[in-house]
Amino acid sequence: MKKTECIAMLLAGGQGSRLGVLTEQNAKPAVPYGGKYRIIDFPLSNCINSGIDTVGVLTQYQPLELNDYIGSGKPWDLDRLNGGVHMLPPFQRSKGADWYKGTANAIYQNITFIERYDPEYVLILSGDHIYKMDYAKMIKQHKETGADCTIAVLEVPMEEASRFGIMNCNEDGSIAQFEEKPKNPKSNLASMGIYVFSWKKLKYYLEKDKDNPKSKNDFGKNIIPDMLSSNEKMQVFHFNDYWKDVGTIDSLWEANLDLLNPKIELNLSDPNWKIYSRSPSAPPQYIGKTAEVQNSLITEGCEIYGKVDFSVLFENVVIEEGAQVNDSIIMPGARICSGASVHYAIVAENAVISKNAKVGERPENTSNLEKWGVSVVGAGLTIGEDAEVHANVMVKQNIKAGEKL
Amino acid sequence: MRINYVMGIIFPNVHDDLLPEMTANRSMGSIPFYGRYRLIDFSLSNLVNAGISKVGVIAKSNYQSLMDHLSSGKPWDLDRKKGGLYILPPYGRSETKVYTGHIDALQGAMSFIKDSTEQYVVMCGANVVSNFDMEAMIDSHIKTGADVTIAYKRGKLPKNHRDIMSFQFDENSRVTEILLSNKIEKDCDFSLDVTIIERNMLIHLIEEASDRNQTNLARDIFQPNVNNLKIFGWEVDDFAAVMDSTESYVNVTEELLNNPIARKQLFTSERPVFTKTRDDMPTKYGLACDVTDSIVADGCIIDGTVKSSVLFRGVHVAEGAVIENCILMQDCLIGKNVHIKHVTTDKNVIINEGTSMSGAPSYPVFIKKGANV
């Protein structure tokens, strides 16, 4: 058998608490995106397209839906004789059981899994970004520079740099300094949370970190600074294409609508770099006689009789006659009844917006622009007839008919 | 639940000649239909939704596209250790000819049938579009003690189908007479080409008929034996349509477009129709597009006007183009300001900027695979 040169470890255990009601029952990587995808489709598809066919998925928070979604890994061609996709939840040992305490600790607890493949390199990924990236190029650079650790970086606007982990580099691309969310950033190279490590080095630092009681067991906070201060060879890998963190409601909403922006190059059905997903068995979409659809993404199983503009609709969504959906994300199985209107909102799976109800507000119509934001209706909830949900509201329970929120 | 006492057999090539344009490069079973399906998906899904997990597909000719579509049977959950999907190409021996009917096709697959252990066999054609409860039909077959049960539909006979069976029944739904005429004008009960029979009886009947050089299951076995065999009918109330010509292909598509009840019956969530997925993006509707009364699959990019049409996966409609009453199969590219009406295009057709073309409702224009217009 050919030796596995590189395996990927995908951190998918985070709660994503800033996504509120969307991640109440669901891990962030399983949050729907782009009409038919889940966020985790991106790192998984990138892996298989980059030739990496062994992927460990570290789960901890609400893993049921994620486990179901990944299944045998077939949709991503990750059902393999050797390697393939493995779900790695925390587990009990003879000396007790531990939750994953941090990103580095999650990898530490799975050293045995990694050692089974005895790889030269380990690629660390996270499950909360939308991007298409050839990891093979990054690994190639890692080999060529003889680095111990390579970190993918993205140039961000200088004024936003203080929101990211910033790499200050020497001329040869080696990292001189790493600052987590610096107040006065010295560079605009932001870490994308994608690391290639030479496995022997990483193992050494993981074990060292484990024995340090003060450590938060986190890559950004502990492992990377520790390696830097020990003068290990660390390089940046430049990435220039579309990349978006979807950690907040606003950024999730924006990232969905970016697919409709002609200025943004993000083709998910490019035959050379497809993003794969587990598809439901639904018939093609039906656009009715009374429908008006513009500037939107619509997928299989949808039935449209109303008005849809600048929106992303997931499978089996029904928009009844006289309903109106603008600037919104409507997740699988949701129904927008006649006369209802949805503006600047995310409506989660199987939610029902009853007749003449209103969800969300246009920024130009709101009384208080300071407090304006995207509204969210949680999965399976019903917004009663004539009810109103204003801007920037997160609906966590059913709303009675006529109620205003 | 899975039932382990019934197996399925599909004939994807039978009646290829009825849709000659579309079967030029493929079998009947692999004709694209309704945006994202192939005709065989309906038979396969009916079998699988009835709990059958062993299906033989007796291929005859032009079956490359069919093999590509079926692959390991995964989309229908038929990639199995026990049972699963069996593609049975012609068994090439000096004395075998290419099949002309069901009997010699079954004779060619005899070792597959004999090696099976299931008590019953369900045989399906591939030119019928339906979604019905086949499990109930199997139960009825067992309960009535029938030798043969054939699914039928009441309505106008498909005209171009020369050997379609139509039935007369007694009060217990037992068939008393089988007609093989396509000249019946009034409503009648015609076959949907789904037949249940005990496996051992099938083997016996086929071997006997084969010895007499007979090839046609309906004419040579069922029709003459209507009194010796207990043949029962099973009526399909829900939508079911037989494709017997290029026009009927267009008409059935139009009926589905116009009839929401038919759509609901064909695509019920109780019994999903499975097909091979392509991992396309959702369809992108542009700023200037105007789409109404249409069926659209994923992966399309629409910037023009589309009315009362069916767009398969990956169709691009450029700005200013007007598509009316058309069926555009996979990956067709429609250029700027193209005007087409009552046109059916096969896969990968390119219609260049400014072209106008129009068929009539009774005579749709058909453009063959890969044409550049």
Task: Confirm whether B66 is domain-assigned.
Answer: yes
Token pair 């005709």: residue: B39
C-beta atoms of A283 and B273 within 8 A: yes
**Total number of residues shown for chain B:** 373
C-beta atoms of A36 and B284 within 8 A: no
- The shortest C-alpha distance from B46 to chain A (Å) reads 14
Q: Judge if B262 and B295 occupy the same domain.
A: no
Task: Confirm whether B274 is domain-assigned.
Answer: no
Q: Judge if B347 and B203 occupy the same domain.
A: no
C-beta atoms of B263 and A34 within 8 A: no
Task: Confirm whether B44 is domain-assigned.
Answer: yes
- The shortest C-alpha distance from A115 to chain B (Å) reads 32
C-beta atoms of A36 and B282 within 8 A: yes
pLDDT tens, residue by residue, A248-266: 999 999 999 999 998 888 8
CATH number at residue B298: 2.160.10.10
* Centroid of chain to Cα A22: 12
Q: What is the pLDDT of residue A1?
A: 53
Beta bridge partners of B301: B284, B316
What tokens does B305 get? 């006007």
- The sign of the torsion formed by the CA atoms of B346, B334, A298, B344 equals negative
Which run of H or E residues covers position B129? strand B128-130
Last residue of a domain, one of B219, B240, B266: B266
B115 in contact with A, Cβ within 8 Å: no
Q: Judge if B28 and B82 occupy the same domain.
A: yes
The domain total for chain B is 2
Task: Confirm whether B203 is domain-assigned.
Answer: yes
pTM of the model: 0.90
Identity at A249, one-letter amino acid code: I
Q: Judge if B298 and B258 occupy the same domain.
A: no
Supply the DSSP symbol for B218: I
Q: Judge if B17 and B79 occupy the same domain.
A: yes
Q: What is the pLDDT along chain A (405 residues), one digit of tens a residue?
A: 567 899 999 999 877 788 889 988 888 999 999 999 999 999 999 999 999 999 999 998 888 889 999 999 999 999 988 889 999 988 888 887 788 888 999 999 999 999 999 999 999 999 889 999 999 999 999 999 999 999 999 999 988 888 888 999 988 889 988 888 888 888 999 999 999 999 999 999 999 998 888 888 889 889 999 999 999 999 999 999 999 989 899 999 999 999 999 888 888 888 899 999 998 889 999 999 999 999 999 999 999 999 999 999 999 999 999 999 999 999 999 999 999 999 999 999 999 999 999 999 988 877 777 888 999 999 999 999 999 999 889 999 999 888 888
**A contacts of B299 (beta carbons < 8 Å):** 269
d(CA B34, CA B327) in angstroms, rounded, equals 9
CATH number at residue B161: 3.90.550.10
Last residue of a domain, one of B266, B300, B324: B266
Nearest to A100 by CA among A92, A110, A90, A87: A90
Nearest to A40 by CA among A23, A54, A53, A27: A27
**B contacts of A291 (beta carbons < 8 Å):** 291-292
Q: Which of A256, A258, A287, A325 to mutate to test the interface with B (most CBs of B within 10 A)?
A: A287
**Number of continuous H segments (helices) and E segments (strands) in chain A:** 8, 33
Task: Confirm whether B372 is domain-assigned.
Answer: no
Task: Confirm whether B53 is domain-assigned.
Answer: yes
Torsion of CA B326, B329, B331, B336, to 10 degrees: -10
Last residue of a domain, one of B238, B266, B294: B266
Q: Judge if B221 and B335 occupy the same domain.
A: no
Task: Confirm whether B1 is domain-assigned.
Answer: no
What domain range includes position B19? 6-266
Q: Judge if B161 and B240 occupy the same domain.
A: yes
d(CA B220, CA B229) in angstroms, rounded, equals 13
Q: Judge if B258 and B302 occupy the same domain.
A: no
Q: Judge if B85 and B150 occupy the same domain.
A: yes
d(CA B283, CA A301) in angstroms, rounded, equals 12
Task: Confirm whether B63 is domain-assigned.
Answer: yes
C-beta atoms of B286 and A281 within 8 A: no
Nearest to B192 by CA among B144, B157, B219: B157
A36 in contact with B, Cβ within 8 Å: yes
Which run of H or E residues covers position B43? helix B40-49
ipTM, two decimals: 0.88
**A contacts of B291 (beta carbons < 8 Å):** 287, 291, 293
d(CA A173, CA A154) in angstroms, rounded, equals 13
Q: Judge if B339 and B290 occupy the same domain.
A: yes
Q: Judge if B308 and B177 occupy the same domain.
A: no
Q: Judge if B221 and B315 occupy the same domain.
A: no
Token pair 């597959």: residue: B112
Number of cross-chain residue pairs from A and B with Cβ atoms under 8 Å apart: 102
Query: CB of A76 within 8 A of CB of A276?
Result: yes
Q: What is the pLDDT along chain B (373 residues), one digit of tens a residue?
A: 567 899 999 999 878 788 888 888 888 899 999 999 999 999 999 999 999 999 999 988 778 889 999 988 999 999 988 889 999 887 665 555 566 778 888 888 899 999 999 999 999 999 999 999 999 999 999 999 999 999 999 998 888 877 789 999 998 889 999 998 878 888 999 999 999 999 999 999 999 998 888 888 888 899 999 999 999 999 999 999 999 888 889 999 999 999 999 999 999 989 999 999 888 999 999 998 999 999 999 999 999 999 999 999 999 999 999 999 999 999 999 999 999 999 999 999 999 999 999 988 888 889 999 889 8
C-beta atoms of B285 and A35 within 8 A: no
